[in-house]
Amino acid sequence: LFQLRDFLLVYNRMTELCFRHCVSNLNYRLLTGSEERCLDGCAGKLVHANHRLMRAYVALMPSIMQRRVADYEASVTPAGQRAAPEGAGGAG
């Protein structure tokens, strides 16, 4: 559900950006040839950029997750080590 929402947000932003950039005359129902070429180029650039961004994200995500797991384990381990001596000291 979140992926669909994110996709729709990106699509809406892309549509709005390209429309504002390329369409200059709202007096006609159809696009002019130059507006259509501009929209094709604009949308193509944004889709290509989005694909490159997603490839970079997929490539970096495993190392980010490993770092998060290591940070989490490091934060949990000292708490566990502090609790053990206190329990041992109270029992002796």
Domain range for 32: 1-76
Residue 85 lies in a domain: no
| Number of structural domains in the chain | 1
- Dump pLDDT digits (tens) for 17-52: 999 999 988 988 999 999 999 999 999 999 899 889
| Residue 26 forms part of a structural domain | yes
CATH number of domain containing 57 = 1.10.287.810
pLDDT at residue 89 tops 80: no
How much is the pTM?
0.59
Confidence of residue 92 (pLDDT cuts 50, 70, 90): very low
Is residue 65 included in any domain, yes or no? Answer: yes
- Whether 81 is in a domain gets the answer no
Contacts with 39 (C-beta within 8 Å, 6 or more apart), sequence order: 18, 19, 22, 23, 31
